[in-house]
Amino acid sequence: MHGLNLHHLRYFRAVAHDGNLTRAAERMNLSQSALSVQIRRLEEFLGHALFERRGRRLVLTEAGRIALDHADAIHAAGEELIGTLRETGRSRQALRVGALATLSRNFQAAFLRPVLGRADVEVILRSASQAELMRGLGTLALDVALMTRPPQPDAAMPVVAHRLAEQQASLVGTPTRRIEGARLADLLAAHPMILPTPESGLRPELDALFARLGIRPQIAAEVDDMAMIRLMAREDAGLAVVPPIVVRDELASGRLVELSRLPGIAESFYAVTPERRFPHPLLPLLLEFRAEAAQDATA
């Protein structure tokens, strides 16, 4: 194989997207053995294994994920050339980002700000549970995952947890719930509460605060989604416990007000990345941005 053969990239792309050699061979009207030979030739030319077998599925290796990004870009460029022949396109680099479904949208936007709007970057953003995010990192379907707590160490899935920021939680509500001179204990006892669920990183510290103050809160709602907590606070369902970045726009407009900071109760923000020989080239830019992201989170 004296040069990169586009047919080999086409075969590789089909197997990569299907995850199954037999089905890909059937779709391309090839025998399984012939398709397997083509994939091996591409691997020999590139000097890296592109797949590893997990059960009945073929899963991309780190080199395979990089090769697929380029194969998809080459395929898209060919489609554009054939379809338009009118203007020169610009190559775009995919950045696959996962985030906890409950994570502040404002924080996600602050983290991604350095690459948003760039003509050469396509941001693919997925919301999921922490377990789903970890699976995405393990298969290299995600380049980075945003979480509120670092994952447990796992030798089979080495990752790096970059701590971006920490923000003290606040008690927020509509202006009508403000009581001049009221102490924190008075506010917690007098109003219904919109609380994060017991699974939240904030909740154990919050329950401990209630216990120290001798308060049995009147719970209006327990919500696992910060965006929904924000909406319920706007609808005046009660006082909400949130990091201020979650309701930054409402605080700025005066629709909600910060009634009190909650001592010792804080939300942390992490960017979790897989350990890779070939890290995504945009990650250093995002991780260097942590200082500004932290400033936004604590403003």
Q: Does this model's pTM top 0.85? A: no
CATH code of the region 6-83: 1.10.10.10
CATH code of the region 93-165+269-298: 3.40.190.10
Residue 79 has a pLDDT of 65
User: In the predicted model, is pLDDT for residue 278 greater than 90?
Assistant: no
Q: Which CATH class is domain 167-265?
A: alpha beta
Across 9-33, b (16+ Cβ under 10 Å) vs e yields bebbbbbbebeebeebbeebebeee
Let me know if the fold of 6-83 is the same as that of 93-165+269-298: no
Q: What is the pLDDT of residues 56-81, one digit of tens each?
A: 788 999 999 889 888 887 877 776 55
Average predicted confidence (pLDDT) for the chain? 85
Average pLDDT over residues 71-93: 63
Tokens of 296: 């936004």
Q: Compare 209 and 93 and report the one with higher pLDDT.
A: 209
Q: Domain boundaries in the chain? A: 6-83, 93-165+269-298, 167-265
Residue 289 has a pLDDT of 61
Q: What is the pLDDT of residues 155-201, one digit of tens each?
A: 677 899 999 888 889 999 999 998 888 888 889 888 999 998 887 87
User: In the predicted model, is pLDDT for residue 222 greater than 60?
Assistant: yes
Average pLDDT over residues 238-267: 90
- Spacing of C-alpha 99 from chain mean position: 2
Return the beta strands (E) in 174-285 as ranges. Answer: 193-196, 219-223, 239-242, 257-274
User: In the predicted model, is pLDDT for residue 53 greater than 90?
Assistant: no
Average pLDDT over residues 230-249: 92
Residue 124 has a pLDDT of 92
User: In the predicted model, is pLDDT for residue 295 greater than 60?
Assistant: no
